[in-house]
């Protein structure tokens, strides 16, 4: 029997993860492997139950084309999103769907206790029977802030400053008897980009910008298929681009006139309250979705603050587009819920401030992955890193379910 190269398995599993239902011809085209290698590896994966044949497509010439997908229950991945206000946990199956979820609010201003991470993971794993438990391959964590070369994380929202995250994860994993679970980490903007590239609207794009807005605004950048990191891991701090040098509005960073002062959701709400003489005096009673709803109902003040934010975002993006020449720009986070209002204005502004050759055909979209974006990205990270590790790849391709094995032989 010919040997099956690990790289064939990696390439094929990756195509199946990204595209779900795929024909043999599509696998050959996407991986660039030769047809004999694909058939050989597919036969092995079907035999192990890692991949399932899910049906046949009739093609024009009358020939049947087999359709394959990953056996969703062949492997599980733990995904953790250290969002800042809360931690989200999910157990994902091998096709990136959430099987179980758990979330925990964090005390504002209190440093996050790493024990909470393992307690949350244990809560997810409690739902699994022994067989499913044995199929948990790895965990992925999406983190905010900056991780330095010594493995220390500085993240304002988690109240961590040079917190020895890697050392703490190792120590607490031993304490919670989870040392056997490999953990992979990735900055949140990169996990968001991976989620969009693998499962969202950036599929097939090699160059893109993902603008996400929550408390602040940042962009994830990928160029020629690779995430852009920067010297200090700080590429993409677009929220602190000066959008109005004459502005009196002070940003959280200490400067004046930053994009965030106009376009972050909390600042959109703040401007609405400040400009509404008879309106609510308390910004905390309003959510960004309320402002969008008022704008849809033609409330003049809501329309004006939303328009101001959209113009600022479009202006900031036009600079990034001129520098980086992306084929897609995605709006994600809480501003995505106002896509019907924001996207046309952002697009118009980009058109005004960039060369036609840069903006013609440029796709501008809102993310469809919602709140699960980083969880999906963290699971995709665990999947990707597990493929790269020979021992974990072997685990992913070990016999999954006896009945699938029997059916495929
Ligand atoms: Zn700023």
Give 266 Cα–ligand 1 centroid separation in angstroms: 14
Give 211 Cα–ligand 1 centroid separation in angstroms: 16
The edge-to-edge listing of strands for the beta sheet with 22-23 is 22-23, 64-70, 51-58
Give 102 Cα–ligand 1 centroid separation in angstroms: 33
Give the separation between CA 265 and CA 334, rounded to whole angstroms. 7
Give 109 Cα–ligand 1 centroid separation in angstroms: 20
Give 217 Cα–ligand 1 centroid separation in angstroms: 10
Give 228 Cα–ligand 1 centroid separation in angstroms: 21
Give 19 Cα–ligand 1 centroid separation in angstroms: 39
The phi and psi torsions of 331 (rounded to 5 degrees) equal -100, 125
Give 254 Cα–ligand 1 centroid separation in angstroms: 6
Give 50 Cα–ligand 1 centroid separation in angstroms: 48
Answer whether 143's CB lies under 8 Å from 186's CB.
yes
Short-list 324, 109, 351, CA closest to 222 = 324
* Helix/strand/coil for 79: strand
Give the separation between CA 403 and CA 396, rounded to whole angstroms. 17
> Could you give the residue ranges of the DSSP H alpha helices within 235-287?
259-263, 265-275
pLDDT tens over the chain, length 409 residues: 568 899 999 999 999 998 889 999 999 999 999 999 999 999 999 999 999 998 877 766 667 788 999 999 999 999 999 987 789 999 999 988 899 999 998 887 788 899 999 999 999 999 999 888 999 999 999 998 888 889 999 887 788 899 999 999 999 999 999 999 999 999 888 899 989 998 899 988 999 999 988 878 999 999 998 989 888 778 888 999 999 999 888 888 889 999 999 999 989 999 999 998 776 667 778 899 999 999 999 999 999 999 999 999 999 999 999 999 999 999 999 899 999 999 999 999 999 999 999 999 999 999 988 888 999 999 999 999 999 999 999 999 988 754 444 344 3
Give 241 Cα–ligand 1 centroid separation in angstroms: 7
> Could you give the residue ranges of the DSSP H alpha helices within 66-157?
115-125, 130-134
Give 213 Cα–ligand 1 centroid separation in angstroms: 14
Give 156 Cα–ligand 1 centroid separation in angstroms: 14
Give the separation between CA 153 and CA 146, rounded to whole angstroms. 6
Give 173 Cα–ligand 1 centroid separation in angstroms: 37
Partners of 55 in the beta sheet? Answer: 67
Given this model, what pLDDT does residue 2 score? 64
Answer whether 76's CB lies under 8 Å from 69's CB.
no
DSSP 283: G
**How many CB atoms are closer than 10 A to CB 11?**
20
CA–CA distance from 147 to each of 52, 227, 290 (Å)?
A: 39, 16, 35
Give 360 Cα–ligand 1 centroid separation in angstroms: 30
């Amino acid at each position: 029997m010919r040997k099956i190269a690990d790289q064939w398995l990696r390439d094929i599993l990756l195509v199946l993860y990204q595209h779900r239902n795929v024909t043999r011809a599509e696998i050959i085209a996407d991986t660039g492997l030769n047809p004999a290698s694909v058939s050989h590896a597919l036969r092995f994966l079907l035999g192990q139950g890692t991949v399932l044949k899910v049906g046949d497509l009739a093609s024009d010439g009358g020939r049947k084309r087999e359709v394959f997908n990953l056996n969703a229950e062949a492997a599980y991945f733990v995904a953790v999103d250290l969002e800042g206000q809360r931690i989200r946990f999910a157990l994902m199956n091998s096709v990136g769907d959430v099987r179980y979820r758990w979330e925990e609010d964090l005390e504002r201003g209190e440093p996050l206790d790493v024990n909470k991470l393992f307690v949350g993971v244990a809560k997810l794993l409690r739902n699994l029977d022994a067989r499913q438990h044995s199929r948990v391959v790895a965990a992925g964590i999406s983190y905010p802030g900056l991780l330095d070369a010594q493995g220390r994380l500085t993240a304002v929202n988690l109240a961590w400053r040079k917190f020895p995250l890697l050392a703490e994860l190792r120590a607490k994993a031993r304490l919670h008897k989870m040392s056997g679970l490999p953990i992979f980490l990735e900055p949140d903007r990169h996990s968001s980009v991976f989620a969009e590239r693998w499962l969202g609207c950036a599929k097939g794009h090699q160059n893109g910008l993902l603008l996400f807005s929550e408390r602040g605004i940042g962009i994830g950048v990928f160029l020629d298929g690779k995430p852009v990191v920067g010297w200090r891991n700080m590429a993409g701090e677009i929220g602190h681009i000066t959008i109005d040098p004459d502005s009196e509005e002070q940003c959280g960073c200490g400067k004046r006139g930053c994009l965030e002062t106009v376009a972050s959701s909390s600042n959109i709400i703040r401007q609405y309250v400040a400009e509404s003489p008879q309106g609510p005096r308390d910004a905390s009673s309003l959510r960004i979705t309320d402002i969008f709803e008022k704008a849809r109902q033609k409330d003049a003040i809501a329309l004006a603050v939303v328009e101001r934010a959209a113009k600022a975002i479009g202006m900031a993006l036009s600079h990034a587009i001129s520098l980086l020449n992306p084929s897609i720009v995605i709006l994600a986070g809480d501003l995505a819920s106002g896509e019907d209002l924001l996207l046309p204005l952002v697009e118009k502004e980009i058109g005004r401030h960039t060369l036609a050759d840069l903006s013609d055909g440029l796709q501008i979209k809102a993310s469809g992955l919602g709140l699960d974006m980083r969880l999906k990205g963290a699971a995709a990270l665990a999947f990707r890193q597990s493929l790269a590790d020979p021992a974990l790849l072997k685990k992913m391709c070990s016999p999954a379910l006896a009945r699938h094995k029997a059916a495929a032989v």
